[in-house]
Chains A and B, each alone.
Chain A
Amino acid sequence: MNASKTLVYDGSFNGFLTAVFIGFEQKLTHADIQKQGQLQSGLFAETETIFTNIEKAQRVWNGVRNKSNSAIKNIYFAFLSEQNNMEALIYRYIQKLMGSKYNGATDFSDDGVLKINQLAHKVGREKHRMEAFVRFQLTKDDVYFANIEPDFDVLPLISKHFRNRYADQQWIIYDVKRKYGLFYDLNTVEIISLDLSDIHTNSTEKSAAFTDAEHEYQDLWNNYFKSTTIKSRINNKLHVQHVPKRYWKYLSEKKAV
């Protein structure tokens, strides 16, 4: 029996689940699962390259799902956290889950379980933030365009929400940090990458890319934001807690006019 080994996968979620499958197959008690190109293992560790296999990934997915629906969500969300070493954490989490006799129950007195929960929670919060903080600007080509820079890789998680809501308008949400985006063309949502010459923040300058009315609506929104504040209740600490400063540059209501 192998106690430890480094498994290298292609960075995709299915690739990761395949690695988990291989790890279980080889009865690895500790699987050091790492993304290709980010290999950090010691010189002497044994490594194996994993080829993504949808069927094997599916089996892990189903196995976990049969145990607990919330676990499957936790795993996917924690994966998207891109946190160092989250692979090993998730591997252990799945091990625990499959070994447990309680279906659906989660052991909140276990450190690893708590950790995965916290990661998933953070990613979930970022998903909600992006659903809230995306600010579309209407381009002259009739596309509603937004740049984002989320802390975690949440585009896959917000796609459905925007597809359902904005079914009758074309839109692009582009992750500047991870250099890919979603484009909805009134039929389907596709993954795109763009050559962005400038990043569209909440600039006070009019940009030629956008319609004339665009700037006016931003202005109205900015005004609305101010008029709806109750001066005698100002509480900036609370404000910043809800709308952390790192998000401000994309929020039209926070531009300095």
Chain B
Amino acid sequence: MDFNRIKEKLNILADAAKYDVSCSSSGSNRKNKDNGLGDTGNGICHTYTEDGRCVSLLKILLTNHCIFDCAYCVTRKSNDIQRAAFKIQEVVDLTINFYRRNYIEGLFLSSGIFKSADHTMERLIAVAKKLREEENFNGYIHLKSIPGASDELMYEAGLYADRLSVNIEIPTISGLKLLAPDKKHEDFIKPMLKVKNEIIRYKEESKIIKSTAKYAPAGQSTQMIVGATGESDKDIMYSATHFYKNYKMKRVYYSGYVPISTDSRLPSLGSEVPMLRENRLYQTDWLLRFYGFSVNEILDADNPNLDMDIDPKLMWALRNLNHFPIDINKAEPRMLARIPGIGMGSVHKIISGRKYRRLNWEHLKKMGIALNRAKYFIICNSSDWEQRDLDAATIKGMILQSQNSKFKNQYNNQLSLFN
């Protein structure tokens, strides 16, 4: 193997792949087969990049040659950059050798579109097939579904991949028309639909026949770029909800637009990556998936954007003060989960703990609840609680003041969700 040549390619093709933020390697159930190599599990982050993102997969493009010219993409045809392409065997060797050294959980392979969608998809499948069949590799494989790829190929891809994804990238159809005029909305939807139907089929059949060949056991995901087309948070979250619902997405990722082009349709080079906004969108996503909120409770025509100063749960609570205060010792779990400053972990602790005794402030504090936020919304076993009839703006002001210094540090902290 010519390591120098491989190194050059790796630099180019990893650099081009890094804007896809998904690095999840969890949710699959592939076990090690016949004393072969690898298995999947909860998904381990083997390291973190200097921008603080989890590195769990070898994330590369097969090639960054592309016949399309999507304005928001570094790989676009008109961009004057170095191009490279891996051979199939080179990707297989890299994956296996990184995996054996415990660097990664597996491979995330995407590609620029060369010749045609089908031709590209075929090559991606060839890599996955080789890993599974020739190397008996049971680690995680995430393949990109190439927009416009045929149903037959999408079927085949799911036989080898744990996860498939097609990035919708632009949350609104008008935005897509503006920035990727040669791509059609249907081209994204078609593979998504096929994968969804195959996943449903696989789940049904495997209930009856145990030996049914696995089909994309970790499901499918998509990504939207945030802040490239002037879309509102409502546009993004309604679109995300649509994909969760209608395509049974496992995850929707939100990726703050990193300026890579002087194109006048886009934010100029040097404008800031909207990281705080991205974080707020993830928090909202979390509320929808795990906390029992529905999207119109948080965003609607009157409130099309999230509050950047405070997290979306607090924002919701301040708009719905009539639900509060909530009694910690009596409330249903569903309502406990809606209290600002209380995460799901704390909800469980409260439910366990209150069997033994009525909980007071001291107990709650030790459980790690963020009382500086929660205290305005709860009563517990103590006569000392917020009795003043405060309005939303006052509470918000007091909370912001109490966390002012702490809050500043959280600006860049993508993963600090609710605790």
State the A residues within 8 Å of B (CB).
Answer: 102, 105-111, 114, 128, 131-138, 144, 146, 161, 164-169, 186, 213, 216-221, 223-225, 227-239, 241-243, 251-253
Contacts and interface: CB of A to CB of B under 8 A. Distances in A.
A107 B259 CA distance: 51
B117 interface: no
B36 A168 contact: yes
A219 B10 CA distance: 11
A166 B100 CA distance: 7
Given A232-B258, A235-B51, A165 B32 contact: yes
B79 interface: no
A161 B38 CA distance: 10
Contacts of B413: 235, 238
B372 interface: no
Interface string B32-44: 1001111101001
A220 B6 CA distance: 8
A239 B52 contact: yes
A166 B355 contact: no
B406 interface: no
B52 A107 contact: no
Place the interface of chain B in its size category: 35 or more
Contacts of A217: 97-98, 101
Interface of B: 1, 3, 6-7, 10-11, 14-15, 17-19, 31-32, 35-39, 41, 44-55, 58-59, 94, 97-98, 100-103, 136, 258-259, 273, 275, 349-350, 352-357, 359, 363, 366-367, 409, 412-415
A132 B46 contact: yes
- Dominant SS at the A interface? helix
B101 A132 contact: no
9 contacts: A135-B102, A144-B101, A220-B10, A227-B15, A230-B53, A235-B412, A237-B52, A242-B52, A253-B103
B39 A165 contact: yes
A115 B364 CA distance: 15
Contacts of B59: 228
A229 B50 contact: yes
B3 to A, nearest CB: 4
Contact of B48 (A164, A216, A232, A239): A239
Contact of A164 (B32, B45, B58, B414): B32
Given A136-B101, A227-B10, A168 B51 contact: no
A242 B273 contact: no
Contacts of A233: 51-53, 258, 273, 275, 412
Contacts of A231: 51
Nearest to A114: B366
A253 B102 CA distance: 12
